[in-house]
Amino acid sequence: MFSINSECILSKKSEDIPPFYVMEVLESAQALEAEGRHIIHLEVGEPDFPTASHICEAACAAIGRGSTKYTHSQGLLSLRETIVESYHRKFGVDLSPDQVIVTSGTSPGLLIVFMALLEKMDEVIMSNPHYACYPNFVKYLGGTPIYVYTNETNGFALEPETVKQCLSSNTKAILINSPSNPGGHVMSPESLQGLAAIADERGIPIVSDEIYQGLIYSGEEHTILEYTDNAFVLNGFSKLYAMTGWRLGYIICPPECVRAIQKIHQNFFICANSFVQEAGVAALKGSQEHVAEMIQTYNTRRQYMLKRLLGMGLDVRKEPMGAFYVLADARKYSNDSLELSRRILNEAGVAVTPGIDFGNGAEGYLRFSYANNLENIKEGMDRLEAFLEKELEGEL
C-alpha cells in the first residue's frame, strides 16, 4: 500500500507550528473521561452558559426565511450598522459600516489582518505572556513576533515606555489585547493613549484584540478607537454572548485598508455564515439582561477562585478584572508548567492550562478559567488543594 511520508509533502511551517496546548489538555481530559474518570474543566476559555434564546430564535427564523445564501463579503449591512451603533453607544466613537468586515470569528479576522499587513521579516510587537496563537499567526505569514516581557505586578500589561524600546525600522504593528487572555487584565486609558500616540507618531497601526470587551468586573472600559483611527480592531460574539460555536466576529479597520481586507476575505472565506450574522444582530440589538447576569455570575466565581488560589500559595499579584481567567504563579511547586498541568490532570482530575502555552513569560504559571459553574470550581479547588498539599509533603 502507498504510504505518505508527511515530511516530504508538508510545508516546514506546518510541521513547525506549535500545538495550541489548551486544546491538547482538553483532548487529554476528554480521553480520561472516555475511560470513566471524572474531570473538572478549568482549562478552556469557553462560556459555560447557553446562547440566549432570543439569539437562537433569530437564527432559526433567518433559516426559515431562506437566509442561507452567501452575503456581501463584508457582511450584512444590518449587522455592520448594529456593530457601529454598539461602538458608538459604548465608547462614543463614530465609525462607518463601510469600515467593518464581518468574519467567521475573531481568529480568521486576526489571520486576515496579518495577511494584509505583513511582509517577510516584518515585526509585530506583543506582550509575553500573550494569547497563545498570536505569534503563530505572525510567524506563519513570515513575520517576526517581538516580545515585550511584561510585569506581573501591573497585570502583564504592555506599557508605552517598554514598547518604545522595541521599535525598529521593521516594526509593522503593535498588538494589544484588553481585557486580556491569559491574565484577565484590563489596560488603563493612559496606556492605551500612550500606545496610540506611539502608533500615530511612527505611522504604524495598533492591532487591538477586543474579544473580551464587556467582560469587566469593575471600572470603565475603553477601545483603542477612542485614542486613534490608526487601528485594526478585532471583536466577536464568542465570549460576551456565549456564542463560541457560532463562529462570528468582525474587523474594524481604517477606511483606506478596507478594500485589501475585503479582497482577502472574498478569496479565502467568501463571507461569514448568513443566518449566524442575523443572530449577531439579535445579540447586539436584543435585551442585554442575560449578559448582565453572566457578568454577575462570573464575578462571584472570580472572587471565589482568587481566594482559593491565594490560599494555596498560587500567587496572583494583581487582581484580574476582566475576561474569565486567573493566571497564577505556581513556581513554588514547579517551574515546568506543562508537566505540572499534566500531573494535576492525571492525579487530581483537574484540567488547567500550562502557562507555557502563553509564552515563556508565563512559564511556571497556570491559567485557570472560571467559565464553569461554582460547584465545579469548588470541587476543582478542593482537588487541587489536596494535590498541592501532597506535593509539599513529598518535599519534606
Can you give the binding site for ligand PLP, defined by CB under 6 A? Answer: 45, 105-107, 131, 177, 181, 209, 211, 236, 238, 244, 249
Residue 252 dihedral angles phi and psi, to the nearest 5°: -115, 125
Report which secondary-structure segment, H or E, holds 350.
Answer: strand 350-351
What's the min distance (Å) between Cβ of 144 and ligand PLP? 20
Q: Is there a contact between 213 and 221 (Cβ–Cβ < 8 Å)?
A: yes
Cβ contact 28:345 at 8 Å: yes
Name residue, grid cell 487582581.
319
Q: Which is nearer to ligand PLP, 191 or 238 (CB)?
A: 238
Residue 168 CB, shortest distance to ligand PLP, in Å, is 25
Q: Which amino acid belongs to residue 167?
A: L
Closest CB 44 distance from ligand PLP, rounded Å = 8
Tell the smallest beta-carbon distance from residue 371 to ligand PLP (Å): 10
Nearer to ligand PLP, 105 or 364 (CB): 105
Instruction: Using the minimum distance from each CB to ligand PLP, give the nearer residue, 209 or 357.
Output: 209
Pick the closer one to ligand PLP by CB: 131 or 333. Answer: 131
List the one residue out of 113, 117, 118 whose CA is nearest residue 101: 113
Instruction: Report the alpha-carbon distance of residue 46 to residue 51 in Å, rounded.
Output: 12
Instruction: Please name which of 24, 40, 42, 44 lies closest in space to residue 338, comparing C-alpha atoms.
Output: 24
- In the bound complex, what is the minimum distance in angstroms from residue 132's beta carbon to ligand PLP? 8
Q: What are phi and psi of 220, to 5 degrees?
A: -100, 155
Least distance to ligand PLP from the beta carbon of 198, Å?
22
Q: Say if CB 277 and CB 72 are below 8 A apart.
A: no
- Which spans in the chain are helix H? 6-9, 12-16, 21-34, 53-64, 77-91, 106-117, 134-140, 160-166, 189-202, 258-268, 274-285, 289-311, 337-343, 374-395
Q: Which one, 117 or 211, has the nearer CB to ligand PLP?
A: 211
User: Distance between CA 75 and CA 270 in Å, rounded?
Assistant: 10
Dihedral (Cα; 163, 189, 249, 126), 10-degree rounding: 10
Nearer to ligand PLP, 238 or 262 (CB): 238
Report in angstroms how near the CB of residue 243 gets to ligand PLP at its nearest.
8
Choice between 107 and 151, CB closer to ligand PLP? 107
Nearer to ligand PLP, 152 or 210 (CB): 210
Give min distance, CB of 47 to ligand PLP, in A: 11
